[in-house]
Structures are given as structure tokens and as C-alpha cells.
Amino acid sequence: MEDIYLDGSRLVFVLLESLFLMETTKNIETLISRFHFALNINKELCKLSVSQGYIREVQLGLDNYRSHFFDRRLTDIQINLVSYPCQPYLQMLCYASLLRCFANHYAEQMVTVNELKSIGAKINRLKKLCLVIVEVKKEIIAIELVDEKGILDTDEALKSIDKIKSQIESDINNIPKRHHKK
């Protein structure tokens, strides 16, 4: 029986590591893979959360994390996520992280596209950006499906992302035309 609790504190530690990466990464693929990994850990913690002593194991995991990463400050949402793993906190955190990561990625890519000289390089970069948008949309839609309580309103984000994708596709079509006019 004690092994279950040891597993619980280790799961808390690993989930906190994943949350940190999700909240700080600039790489959308890393964020998505960590989210899926974190979902599996969160499901296990949800199962364990009904057992006596779970809060003690959460505290052990939190203390262990703090002693390993003394320079990282745990946020309320991170603490709530491991304390109440059956709530939709992970989905909300991932949703916010996805939007933040995508906004940063989009901005960086557009700066890079504007600095590129070759038409082909610009078009290729924009096409890759469209592929990233498709992945981000898939994840946002999947998060909404997991959100049984309807807390996350993703319609507005999806509309904005579709608008960005349409603009990029328009840019892809207009790049050759703009260069021929010069």
C-alpha cells in the first residue's frame, strides 16, 4: 500500500516538471507532446486522489520538486492541478500555453519571413506555419472535447486562428505577384 503513495509523490513531481516545460517552451511540438504525457499522469493522479493520504503524497511531491528546483516558484494553478487532478485545470493550462506558444511562434515566423530574400524560402516558411496552425487547431479542439464542464470557450480562439491561416494563405498566393511588380 505504501508503494501507491510513493508512486503518487513521484507522479506529482513528474507532472510539475511537465507543467513547467509546457508553460515555458517555445516549441509547439514539445508543448503538445508534454501535454499528452501530462494527461496520462494526471489521469493516474485522479485515480489516486480518492485514496486516504493523497494530500500527504502531494505535499511530498511538492516538497521534493521545490528541493530539486529551488529557483522555480510554483504557481497556484500548478499546486491546484496536482491537489485536485480531476478538475479541468490541466486543460485550461494547456489551452493558455498553446495560445501563448502559438502567438510567439507566429510572431517569430513572420519576422523571419519578412527578412528572407528568396520567394521560395518565404513561401516554404509560410506553408510550414500553416501546418503548425493545423496542429494547434487540432489540439484546441481536442481540449474542448475533454472539457466536459464547458469552462473553455474555444470558438473565439479558433476563429482567430482561422483568420490568421487565411491571411497566411493569401500571403502565400500574393508573394509571387508582389515580386513580379518590382
What pLDDT is recorded for position 4?
45
Q: pLDDT by residue (tens digit) across 49-98?
A: 999 999 999 999 999 999 999 999 999 999 999 999 998 889 888 988 99
pTM of the model: 0.81
Mean pLDDT value across the chain: 88
Coil, helix or strand at residue 148: coil
Q: pLDDT by residue (tens digit) across 14-51?
A: 999 999 999 999 999 999 999 999 999 999 999 999 99
Is the pLDDT higher at 78 or at 145? 78
Q: How confident is the model at residue 174 (pLDDT cuts 50, 70, 90)?
A: confident
Cβ neighbourhood burial of 68 (10 Å; 0-12, 13-18, 19+): exposed
**Site of grid cell 473565439:** 156
